[in-house]
Amino acid sequence: MIPILIGVTLLTFMLFNVFGGDPARRFAGKHATPEQVQTIRAELGLDRSLPEQYLFFVKQIVTVDYGRSWASKQLISTMISDGLGATLSLTAPAFFASIFFCIMLALFSVYGRGTILDRGTVVVCLALLSISSLVYILGLQYLLAFQGGIFPISGWDPSWTGRWEYLTLPWIILFVLSLGPNILIYRTVIMDEAFQDYVRTARAKGLAERHIFAKHILKNAMIPIITVIVIEMPFLITGSVLIENFFGIPGLGGTLIKALNDSDFPTIKAFTVISALVYMMFNLLADVLYSVVDPRVKLG
């Protein structure tokens, strides 16, 4: 993780401070005088040597002090912490509910393989995958919010008791979006395990089919399932950019989009490094979980 983090910080620094042109001139604007650009360069610490600037960037990462946004003048750490609560409120319930539902439906599909339930599940999942996420967002927003009036079209209440009214429809959309890919992946993994030799041996011993699926097949299928889940878990932090923007949820996705539109380099750099850290931490978590579900995997 340490070499990867060093590589990420070095590449991010080079992209924004070397290859991306003069940050001071971008910050000052097109009509700034050379004197104004030089003043801003001194204020931002860009008049120092590149090694000094890089070490200062590393210090910001270690101390979790990313400075201030060029666009809003707010502390970037405050912007991230403010958006994190809204993003997790949106992503976490839909994410964990979809994991449980998709694994259970995949198990039932494999349990009744070849039946109408199994074939129907595959057809529905393929149909869900074939539709753009924008169709779900705009279609459900129009039908359930605009026409039906069941949910608010958009908006946000920062209080913990009031935000759920605005999050219900985004939860439904995120849940539906996850069904197609996840069920097909879990079904494939569980199906591979269902035809292993140990399963035939368990059946020959007279074990009940439900016991075989619950105690043996699902347990041995957990390593690839954990891999898929962990790959998706950084989404909990980075959020759903489209849904946050369409529903006016002030999460991290909207903050990142605004930073990109404003060429807010400090904020973009902070998001880049944080995203890398999140992915590395969840990959480490996956390695630990492998040893929990499979005694053959040892940490060392």
Closest CA to 271 of 252, 298, 244: 252
Helix (H, G, I), strand (E, B) or coil at 68: strand
- Provide CB contacts within 8 A for 53, sequence distance 6+: 13, 17, 45, 46
- Provide CB contacts within 8 A for 268, sequence distance 6+: 16, 256, 259, 260
- Provide CB contacts within 8 A for 250, sequence distance 6+: 82, 83, 86, 156, 244
pLDDT in tens, the chain (300 residues): 888 888 888 888 888 777 766 677 777 767 777 787 788 778 777 778 888 888 888 888 888 888 888 788 888 888 888 888 888 898 999 999 999 999 999 988 988 888 898 999 999 999 998 988 889 899 999 999 988 889 998 889 888 888 888 999 999 999 999 999 999 999 999 998 888 888 888 888 888 888 888 878 888 888 888 888 888 887 777 667 888 888 988 888 888 888 888 778 888 888 888 888 888 888 888 888 877 776 666 665
Mind listing the domains of the chain with CATH numbers? 2-63 (no CATH), 88-293 (1.10.3720.10)
SS3 percent helix, strand, coil of the chain, rounded to 5, is 75, 0, 25
156: left (phi over 0), alpha (psi -120 to 50) or beta: beta
Q: What is the pTM of this model?
A: 0.80
